[in-house]
C-alpha cells in the first residue's frame, strides 16, 4: 500500500529480486500516480487511502480470493532473501497455522490462559485465508481495551492492525507463527513510521518550511516521538530517493524535502535532547544494507 511513489519502485525491485514469480504481487496505489508500465510483474490497484486494516481486508477478501495465502507487507518492509518462500512453505505445512510473521511487535505481548505469545503485527505477515476469511470471518481492524502486558511501562490500550484478530486466533487454538529473530533479520529489513514524514512533505511547499518545522519547537519537545521519528523518516526518504535514482537512472524530486546534509545537521544539533532509546543508528544501518544489496 503506497503513498510515496519512489518507495513503490524500491519495494518492487527487492520483491522481484528475492521473491520473483514465487508470489503474485499487488500494490495499492493510494497516491494515484503510479504507472503500471513501471511494474510489469505486479498488479497496480488504484485505491483510496483508507486505514491500513480496511485496505488489508479488501486485499484478503476481494483480491486474493483464489489464493490460500494472502501475504501483507508494508512498502517500507523490504524482502531481502528467497529464504522467505521456504520459511512460509515450512510453517504453513502445519495444518493449524493461521499466520506467519516476519516482523512482530516487540513492545508488548499477549497473556492468554497463563501463556505468553508474541504479537504478529501486520508489517510483514502471511495469513491463511482459509482460516482467517473462510472459517473465522475475521477482520484486521483495530479495537479498544487492550490490557495485555507492556515491556516499556506504558500500557498498549488499543489493538493495532491485526492485533485483535491475532488474539482471537490464538484463543481458538490456531498457531500464529513468529519467524525466529536470526532468520527474520536475514529475510527482511525496513524503516518505520514513514507516513508521518510523507504527510509533512505534502503539507510544506519548500525545504525551508520543513527545516523551520524542526528548528522552531523548544528543545524539550525532542524527548517525544514526533520530531525525532519524522526526522529519521525524512532521512529514510532521502535514502529511498537515492535508491530510486540508482534503479531508474532518474531523480525523484520532492519539493519540500531538505538535503541529507541539512537533515543530518538538524539531527546532530538535537541529539543531546532526545531520549536514550531513540537511536538513529538502526535507520542508518537499514539504508546502508539496502544500498549494499541493491
| 5-188, CATH topology level | Spore Coat Polysaccharide Biosynthesis Protein SpsA; Chain A (3.90.550)
Distance CA(220)–CA(263), nearest Å, equals: 19
Give the residue-averaged pLDDT of 155-172. Answer: 97
To the nearest whole number, what is the mean pLDDT of the chain? 96
pLDDT for the residue 193: 86
- pLDDT-based confidence at residue 277 (cuts at 50, 70, 90): confident
The alpha carbon torsion through 291, 75, 105, 147 (nearest 10 deg) reads 160
- For residue 75, which of 178, 6, 161, 141 has the smallest C-alpha distance? 6
Percent above pLDDT 70 for the chain? 100
Q: What is the pLDDT of residue 136?
A: 98
Nearest alpha-carbon partner for 243 in 221, 265, 260, 258 = 260
Task: Kindly state the average pLDDT of the residues 32-50.
Answer: 95
**How many C-beta neighbours within 10 Å does residue 242 have?**
18
Asked whether residue 279 carries a pLDDT value surpassing 90, the answer given is no
- The CA distance from 66 to 138, in Å, is 18
pLDDT at 280 (0 to 100) = 87
Distance (Å, rounded) from C-alpha 45 to C-alpha 31? 11
> Rg of the chain over CA atoms, in angstroms?
20
- Can you give the residue ranges of every domain in the chain? 5-188, 191-292
Amino acid at each position: 500500500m503506497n503513498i510515496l511513489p519512489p518507495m513503490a519502485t524500491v519495494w518492487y525491485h527487492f520483491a522481484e529480486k528475492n521473491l520473483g514469480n514465487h508470489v503474485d504481487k499487488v500494490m495499492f496505489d493510494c497516491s494515484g500516480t503510479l504507472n503500471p508500465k513501471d511494474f510489469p510483474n505486479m498488479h497496480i490497484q488504484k485505491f483510496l487511502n483508507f486505514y491500513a486494516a480496511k485496505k488489508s481486508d479488501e486485499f484478503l477478501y476481494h483480491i486474493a480470493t483464489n489464493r490460500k495465502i494472502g501475504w501483507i507487507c508494508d512498502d517500507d518492509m523490504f524482502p531481502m532473501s528467497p529464504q522467505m518462500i521456504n520459511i512460509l512453505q515450512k510453517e504453513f505445512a502445519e495444518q493449524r497455522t493461521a499466520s506467519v510473521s516476519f516482523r512482530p511487535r516487540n513492545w508488548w505481548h499477549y497473556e492468554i490462559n497463563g501463556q505468553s505469545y508474541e504479537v504478529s503485527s501486520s508489517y510483514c505477515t502471511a495469513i491463511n485465508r482459509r482460516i482467517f476469511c473462510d472459517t473465522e470471518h475475521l477482520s484486521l481492524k483495530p479495537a479498544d481495551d487492550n490490557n495485555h502486558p507492556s515491556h516499556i511501562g506504558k500500557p498498549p490500550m488499543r489493538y493495532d492492525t491485526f492485533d485483535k484478530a491475532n488474539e482471537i486466533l490464538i484463543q481458538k487454538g490456531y498457531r500464529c507463527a513468529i519467524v525466529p529473530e536470526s532468520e527474520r533479520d536475514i529475510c527482511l529489513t525496513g524503516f518505520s513510521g514513514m507516513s508521518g514524514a510523507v504527510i509533512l512533505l505534502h503539507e510544506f511547499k519548500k525545504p525551508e518550511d520543513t527545516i523551520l518545522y524542526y528548528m522552531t519547537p523548544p528543545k524539550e519537545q525532542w524527548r517525544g516521538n514526533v520530531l525525532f521519528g519524522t526526522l529519521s523518516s525524512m532521512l529514510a526518504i532521502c535514502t529511498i530517493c537515492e535508491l530510486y535514482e540508482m534503479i531508474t537512472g532518474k531523480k525523484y524530486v520532492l519539493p519540500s524535502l531538505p538535503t541529507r546534509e541539512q537533515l543530518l545537521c538538524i539531527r546532530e544539533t538535537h541529539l543531546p535532547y532526545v531520549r536514550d532509546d531513540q537511536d538513529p543508528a538502526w535507520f542508518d544501518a537499514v539504508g546502508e544494507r539496502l544500498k549494499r544489496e541493491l
